[in-house]
Amino acid sequence: MFSTPHSIRSQRGFTVIEMLMVVSMIAVLAAMSLPVMRDMTASIKLNEAARMVEREMQDARLRAVAANRVLRVRLNCPATGYIRTVEMLATAADTATDRCTTTAYPFPAPDTDVMTRPNFDGPVRTLPAGATVSSLVLQFGPDGTAADVIAGVATAIATPVTVTISRDGKSKTVTVNNVGKVQLQ
* Domain spans in the chain, listed from the N-terminal domain onward: 45-184
The torsion angle over the Cα atoms of residues 64, 122, 131 and 159, rounded to 10 degrees, is: 20
Would you say 137 and 96 are in contact if contact means Cβ atoms under 8 Å apart? Answer: yes
Give the DSSP letter of residue 103: T
Which range has the worst mean pLDDT, 82-86, 88-92, 129-133, 146-150?
Answer: 88-92
- CA distances (Å), 113 to each of 41, 42, 102, 120, 157, in order? 44, 43, 19, 11, 33
Burial 88-99 (b: 16+ CB within 10 A, else e): bbeeeebebeeb
Cβ partners under 8 Å of residue 121, min gap 6: 84, 85, 86, 87, 99, 105, 106, 107, 109
Average pLDDT, the chain: 83
Going by C-alpha positions, the residue among 182, 174, 134 that lies closest to residue 47 is: 174
Q: Is the pLDDT of residue 102 over 80?
A: no
Q: Is the pLDDT of residue 11 over 70?
A: no
State residue 2's pLDDT score: 57
Helices and strands in the chain, H and E counts:
3, 10
Q: Which CATH superfamily is domain 45-184 in?
A: minor pseudopilin epsh domain (3.55.40.10)
Would you say 117 and 86 are in contact if contact means Cβ atoms under 8 Å apart? Answer: no
Distance of CA 115 to the CA centre of its chain: 32
State residue 140's pLDDT score: 93
State residue 151's pLDDT score: 80
- Model pTM? 0.73
State residue 4's pLDDT score: 58
Would you say 118 and 100 are in contact if contact means Cβ atoms under 8 Å apart? Answer: no
Question: What H or E segment, with its residue span, contains residue 74?
Answer: strand 71-75
User: Other CB atoms closer than 10 Å to residue 62's CB: what's the count?
Assistant: 14
